[in-house]
Chains A and B, each alone.
Chain A
Amino acid sequence: MAPIVQVQNVFKKYSRNANAHLGYGMRDLFDHILGRKPSLELRKDEFFAVNDVSFELEQGDTLALIGRNGSGKSTLLKMMNGIVKPDAGRIVMDGRVQALINLGAGFNPALSGLDNIYNAAALHGFNRKETKAIVDEIVDFSELEEFITSPIETYSSGMKARLGFAVAAHLKPEILLIDEILAVGDYAFQNKCFARLEELKSQNVTVVFVSHSQSAVIKLCKEAIWLHKGRIMAIGPSRDAVEAYNSFLETQEKEKLSRQKPPKSASATENQQKQSLKIETTEKSENTLYGPIHPESDCVEDIHCELLVDGRKTDVIRIHGEVVIRVSFRLRRHVQHLFSTINFFRKDGLLIASIATAEDDRFANIHSGHVTYEVRIPDFDFCPGHYVIVMPIADGQHYLWRNIVKEFFVESGGRRCVGIKHIQHSYSFSVDGENVDSTPL
């Protein structure tokens, strides 16, 4: 089958500070008007946003572009839609292209939803008659019948995005370019969007999908390209590309962690340790992603939290490994009802789990002194990623202290993990009543 999309050795360069180099724009414009080929030589402050990218897609193919912010995914998508010109290479699009780069593109807040449907469809090349034929379908899909005559400035951002997706997804494309726009609206609508994309896939529409949602990438796309600083780092089945990307992220996170906290020498003084804790903690009492922070206390001091794997201190835990959390602190005065909790937060602020001494009043008989305790977790099953431990110490009524005590990273060890936790499990199944296999995973 002949390819429907051909991207051949495409380069695109941008200036980090375009406003400081208006002359570049002028020179580029004159070169373009005179029909000169743009130079690939980088001028001051320039960098390659897309660097020698090539791939081909056939009709019905689904390709995801993954990578960190600024890796060139959106620029590549814009070049495929003709919004941005390549500086070198060639892009052939052999079909009607529909791009979902910004769901609200062309919307005017002062106009009604209905007016905006007609406008957006017109901007995508549809005439009045063609739009009229699909307008009911669009309104129905957006679930905005009740508000369709109201100005969209009265819509919530989710409603606007729903309308935008509904318009764009009904314009009968042959090649659909989607740029990270499906994280909109409520879950029910997100599911509806995915169902619509699956429907388009089944109609042999070629899809190029940019997303940070790895589950969406794996679910929607057969193939994926991982871009880093404009270059292709991996290309192949979406699961493999996502895995390669994840292991790269893991390495980067580990490097970042080791840079943040250089290992202390065995002879480090107590003062140095205190200084190190001070860096980790927030200076003032404030609300954060991880809840309220109470860093100063006249009751608790010398707080330490360590992660031990095989008896060694570490900041990196392998999924399903055994971990010991060792906590110590000193009570400077008498405390009536002592509680201490270990809260595990994902770096983005999601509380994953909590281990609290309050559950069984374990510290009921501790009122003062230097407290040390260890918590053993035989199977640490958090999915790979960056986590923090927030530890409150309380006296039964108030926080005595509450702050971040540890940052750590969970590595996959080559496992495929999606979601928050990876559950140890085994299969047993039968065919026609006969046991076939029983495999622990």
Chain B
Amino acid sequence: MPRVVYTPQSETYSPKNVIRAMVRGMIQSRYMALRLVVRDIKSDYAKSQFGMVWELIDPLVLGFIFYALKRSRVITPGETGMPYSIFIIYGLLMYATFVESVMRMVTLVRTSKPLLSHLKLPPEALILSVIFRIAFNCFFRLLAMLFFSLLLCRSALAEGLSAFSPVGFIKFLLLFPSVILVGAAIGLFFAPLNAIYSDVATAIRIGLGPYRYLSPVLWPLPLTGAWAWLHTTSPIAPIFLDLRTLATENAMHYPAEFLARGILFGLLFLFSWFIFHISLTVLSEKA
């Protein structure tokens, strides 16, 4: 018979118990999280003929505009090392994934408030449901990336460039979750604050718009002066650059920076998850 004791104090002083509960929660709430995702996806697209296609259209249209601007020499994005269309398609779809990861996590308590005010849910079910949902959306984005890589593979070769590497693409698929990890870690870190002040999510959403132009999404950033500082401090720049070159050339130019960000944001994610786990009940009251 499960015995539960509710007291005012958090379990901060018994981190071992919290970590055990986090792991148990992650294992036990897989089905619950899956049902939450199925529920959301079905209801999101219940009355839509094209469903997920709309999610792809936004970054692809933006990509097409930049491609057209580059072709007509309105912009000169610099040396990309791969067909520009591949550069921006990968960049925009990876950025869309990053933004989705941040925003879904940061608004997690508020969007779950209707459930949390009536049901006792394990925090892990909510976190997992967001990860599952992002993974579902990524499946279509990855398909789009693969489709354009294969489509432009020959023309790229004719220009002496590479648009697709089979081995590299498998490595790209294995390392692609790092984009979700960085976004989810940042989002989850700010989720408790956003539960109290909704301005947090608004500020982040506004900030992420222009940040797209300060990251190697639509063009490669120069690595001199202030741009070099931006590259060094960016949570996503080395990851984006290396994932692109992995998929197209099976090569990584910034493996150390990539690994450093993986470890740093992995730790940030664990820390944020710990905070989220011990404070969810308080947060759902305050949201």
* Interface class of chain B by DSSP: helix
Check A279 for interface membership: any CB of B closer than 8 A: no
Give which listed residue, B3, B32, B47, B119, contacts A93 with CB less than 8 A.
B3
Question: A63-87 interface mask toward B, CB cutoff 8 Å, 1 = contact, 0 = none?
Answer: 0000000000000000111111111
A179–B282 Cα gap in the complex (Å)? 21
Min C-beta distance of B279 to chain A, whole Å: 6
Do A83 and B32 touch (CB < 8 A)? no
Known contacts A111-B46, A124-B119; A32 and B10 CB within 8 A of each other: yes
Residues of A within 8 A of B120 (CB): 81-83, 97, 99
Check B286 for interface membership: any CB of A closer than 8 A: yes
Do B12 and A34 touch (CB < 8 A)? yes
Pick the interface stretch among B59-67, B110-118, B167-175, B217-225. Answer: B110-118
Check A102 for interface membership: any CB of B closer than 8 A: yes
Residues of A within 8 A of B1 (CB): 94-96, 174
Interface residues of B in 243-283 (CB under 8 A from A): 275, 278-279, 281-283
Do B6 and A86 touch (CB < 8 A)? yes
Known contacts A33-B10, A83-B281; A18 and B2 CB within 8 A of each other: no
Pick the interface stretch among A115-123, A310-318, A344-352. Answer: A115-123
A415–B275 Cα gap in the complex (Å)? 56
Give which listed residue, B7, B8, B35, B284, contacts A123 with CB less than 8 A.
B35
Question: A146-166 interface mask toward B, CB cutoff 8 Å, 1 = contact, 0 = none?
Answer: 000001000000000000000
Min C-beta distance of A116 to chain B, whole Å: 8
Do B42 and A32 touch (CB < 8 A)? no
Min C-beta distance of A119 to chain B, whole Å: 5
Check B13 for interface membership: any CB of A closer than 8 A: yes
Residues of A within 8 A of B117 (CB): 83, 102
Q: Count residues on chain B whose CB falls below 8 Å from chain A CBs.
A: 44
Q: Count residues on chain A whose CB falls below 8 Å from chain B CBs.
A: 52
Residues of A within 8 A of B36 (CB): 119, 122-123
Do B2 and A119 touch (CB < 8 A)? no
Check B73 for interface membership: any CB of A closer than 8 A: no
A109–B114 Cα gap in the complex (Å)? 14
Q: A32-B9, A37-B8, A110-B43 are in contact. List 18 more A-B contacts (CB 8 A).
A: A22-B196, A29-B192, A33-B12, A79-B6, A82-B4, A82-B6, A83-B118, A85-B6, A86-B6, A92-B5, A96-B1, A118-B35, A119-B35, A119-B36, A119-B39, A123-B36, A123-B115, A128-B31
